[in-house]
Structure 1
Amino acid sequence: MSMTEQLVEACRDLPVRVDVFPVGAEAPKRVAVLLPGGGLNARASFAVARGRSLVEVLAGRGYLPVGITPREDAQDPSGAAGWGLAAHRADAERVLAGIERVVGLPYDLLGHSAGAALALDLAAQPGCAARRVLVLDTTGPYDPATEPQLAERAGRLCTQFQQLLAAGERVLDPGLKAAFAAGAGNPEVLAQLEYALTRTAELPGPANWIYHRGHSAGGEALDLEVWARAMAALGSGVQPVALLRDLAALWGGRSEVYRIDWAAIRAEVRWVNAELGRGDHDLAPRLIRAGGARVDYRVVPGLGHGDVVWSPLAENAVWPLLLGE
């Protein structure tokens, strides 16, 4: 049995799905553990870009790319009331244990959006062996000293999600999977989708305000065919309300709901945000750096939230900053 087969077998009974992506001609020197954004899976997040996808770039740099698709995409989400960030972390830690046992190579954690928050949470745990944490466009806590309105708004959003959970709402469906399916061959629907992706912050939705403008900058940054491939690769496409509650708690500094001990992170952190996506909010990088870890924090101009993984511009404008080698 090959190493890849052994790893998949070791993770077979977990509630997540583990994807081991192809590598280059040479034996890999390290593992990239890929953690997708909210409502997405590993293949949709990292393996659908036109030309060379991020998993192909990683493989070319000597990585074995291993994707962890969260339980809300891989399983029936009916039990999602308890699927907060801690549950996602526990799932990922079981996969990491399998990687350490079966593969035996050093690993980096690479996440986008909610997956990046998960990567940082994993790295803050005692004994985490991650060599580096590679962060793509996520939001840490808003600075209550310089961004009090944003911090307060995020705190109220956390309360909204708590209320939804109390009312029995387990998941939210962003609707993109169904919208892209309906938009196939329909120019009018595709035009509406393009507007929604490039003007996300203007649209109703509990958390749309966290984007400085949208999921994409539009123009040459937006490839709707790639977005369509990503949405077609999804399972449920839903987001657990418990996960959204915990993310909002992080943004708003609601430590009684959920917190990451930023100063406990010891791995090197390379953090790349998108100007028009989650924007420039650097309190978490500063807190990590104050704990003694090496942090490289950048904001890429002119790109949106999803552009950092799906845009044809990402390979040259984003991924070299992320990988830094």
Structure 2
Amino acid sequence: MDEQTDGGAAGRHTPVLLQRCLDLLAPALAVPDAVMVDSTLGMGGHTEGVLRAFEHVRVVGIDRDPQALALASERLAPFGDRFTGVHAVYDEITDVLEDLGIPAVQGVLMDLGVSSLQLDEAERGFAYAHDAPLDMRMDPTTGPTAADVLNTYEERDIARVLRVYGEERFASRIARGIVRRRERAPLTRTSELVEIVRAGVPAATRRTGGHPAKRTFQALRIEVNGELAALERAVPASIEALAVGGRIVVESYQSLEDRIVKRALAAGATSSAPPDLPVEPATHTPYLRLLTRGAEEADAEELARNPRSQSVRLRAAERLRPTPDHLRTPRRAA
């Protein structure tokens, strides 16, 4: 993270690949009365960039973290009714827009992963470098904590979470260590978890590849917040929210997120007709156009300005036509 001195949202957050996001969204946001959804508002950096660059655009900012929403709303107050903040998870975009009476939008921006605020607030338990309660909830008002997961899951389920969501090679050893430790007393602190991970990862591995607890903390954060399940729903729902000509830009920070985004965008950009048909029916032509060649990464200038961009993978697409009925994702029941 960048070293920041200003206590407000603007001083605590440098948005990743901001100019590239603005350039990709610009053609879609050029229409009169354009609306963009910032599905992961965070500290409001990307939204502020959009509101400054496009003086006619309205932004709906969604975030599940009440603290982030409050700080961003304060930051964006000078833009008046051009900004609307909503406390929700990004897979609820359809309901959010219905409640606001917005039938379709011209842009959707998603900046995934843990936010600057969550990393900087040590007591939230997201950072392995600081001792704190084992919480890790993006919305601290609801749901189970990381401590709940570690103290109640079966050993095999802890191992599965670490292996699948953290791609941790030593998941079984770490899970075994967690269960042994909790037999003496429930785990409550991040420092306890770091100690268990260090003991479970061989010394030779600990000397390479960064902090040994990085993958375990990532996995627990994803599990606690249901991040990948929400993202699986959110990307198709966000595409459905786009008007024809609208654009979606997504920034991912780890391979599991990027894989979900890649799959959803590629599905829309690929013909759904059987390959042996001599003529492609109009109902099977692609409804998305990819705007990036693969996933774009940060260049040296961006990395120097904002270290958080080191792992970013950016993908974008434009809606060409409505999604054909046979490819629509059924809406989840309320």
TM range (shorter): 0.3 to 0.5
- Of structures 1 and 2, the one scoring higher in RCO (CA 8 A, sep 6+) is 1
TM-score of the aligned structures, taking structure 1 as reference length:
0.32
TM-score of the aligned structures, taking structure 2 as reference length:
0.31
